[in-house]
Amino acid sequence: MEFQADACVITLGFDSKQIHPKLYDSVRRIECHHVKYNSMRDEVFANFKQSHRSSICKPPNAVTWVYSLQRLQAETGVGDVSEIVQTWNRDASKATQLSGSKAMSVKHILQLMPKSAREELKQTNSRGPKKTCGRENY
């Protein structure tokens, strides 16, 4: 547990034990659990399910789906990503299924957008939003 508190000192840049004792105590109570999945597909599906349940995280957007599907396709060797989507939709609740306009967006990005444009979209998406916590990121 002391390691986590020390990490807080490094991350925050001050000795939280002296300046913020309540923060220090709460960091010391953090427990982490490493979950090992059988495959990358299981890991991606578990993350997507968790993001749908959480009030903090948002469900994956179309671009997240595209890159997750491409990564799974490369990992599993599945020729058509529609098999992965069908597996997801079969096991997922109705509210979390990939369907409607989001499914069409994913399909069009995968089938119609040139690879170079997908790579540019990936670079742009990885930078995140322009504003974070009300401040400009330059």
What is the per-residue DSSP string for 28-70?
A: HT--------SSHHHHHHHHHHHHHH-SSSPPP-HHHHHHHHH
Domain locations along the chain: 1-32, 40-127
Is residue 51's pLDDT more than 60? Answer: yes
- Beta-carbon contacts of residue 12 (< 8 Å; ≥ 6 apart): none
Bridge partner list, 131: 136
Query: What pTM does this model have?
Result: 0.59
Mean pLDDT across the stretch 33-49?
Answer: 84
Distance CA(110)–CA(119), nearest Å, equals 12
Is residue 131's pLDDT more than 60? Answer: no
Instruction: Indicate the burial class of 67 (C-beta count within 10 angstroms; 0-12, 13-18, 19 or more).
Output: middle
Give the model's pLDDT for residue 70.
82
Higher pLDDT, residue 107 or 29: 107
SS3 (DSSP) at 102: helix
Give the model's pLDDT for residue 132.
43
Query: Is the distance from CB of 91 to CB of 45 less than 8 angstroms?
Result: yes
- Beta-carbon contacts of residue 85 (< 8 Å; ≥ 6 apart): 69, 98, 103, 106
Give the model's pLDDT for residue 133.
41
- Beta-carbon contacts of residue 130 (< 8 Å; ≥ 6 apart): 136, 137
Give the model's pLDDT for residue 8.
47
- Split at pLDDT 50, 70, 90, the class of 11 is low
